[in-house]
Amino acid sequence: PPGWDAPPVAPPGFSIRPIPRPDLVWYRDLFRRVGEPWLWFSRLRLSDDELQAKLYHPALTLFVLSFEGADIGFAELDRSEPPHVELTFFGIVPEHTGKGAGPFLMRHAIREAFTHGARRLWLHT
């Protein structure tokens, strides 16, 4: 776990909020906008029932990054294998990279991963 005492400071205009039960159309749109340059397709191929089962699972936490009210990125934490947490997806739309949003979102995700007693955070790349 990081030794950070204070929560990360948002760059001007940026904010993060949890989305416990996202609308599937909204989620697919954000997933596509964030992941298209990286050839993300896994969640786009799922049926509504399959996607809802993943996103609404109590072990999954979705955090959305917004800039001036527009959703531009997200981080997903999967706590289904305690005491380990997987950062399953993390990304920001290309037009907002290089503005400090990535480190802000990553610090938030890391801090949240260790909030509930996690011993390890991992990410497949």
Q: Give the separation between CA 111 and CA 114, rounded to whole angstroms.
A: 6
Lowest mean pLDDT among 15-19, 55-59, 92-96, 112-116: 112-116
Evaluate the CA torsion angle 108, 113, 119, 125 in order and state its sign.
negative
pLDDT tens digits along 53-84: 999 999 999 999 999 999 999 999 999 999 99
Mean pLDDT across 95-121: 91
Q: In what order do the strands lie in the sheet with 84-92?
A: 14-18, 60-67, 70-81, 84-92, 120-122
According to DSSP, the residues that pair with 84 across neighbouring strands are: 81, 120
Rounded (10°) CA dihedral 101, 109, 18, 65: 10
Residue 2 has pLDDT above 80, yes or no: no
- Beta-carbon contacts of 18 under 8 Å, excluding residues fewer than 6 positions away, are 61, 62, 63, 64
pLDDT tens digits along 7-46: 888 999 999 999 999 999 999 999 999 999 999 999 999 9
pTM of the predicted model over 0.85? yes
Whether the Cβ atoms of residue 100 and residue 16 lie closer than 8 Å to each other: no
Cis peptide before 83 (omega within 30 of 0): yes
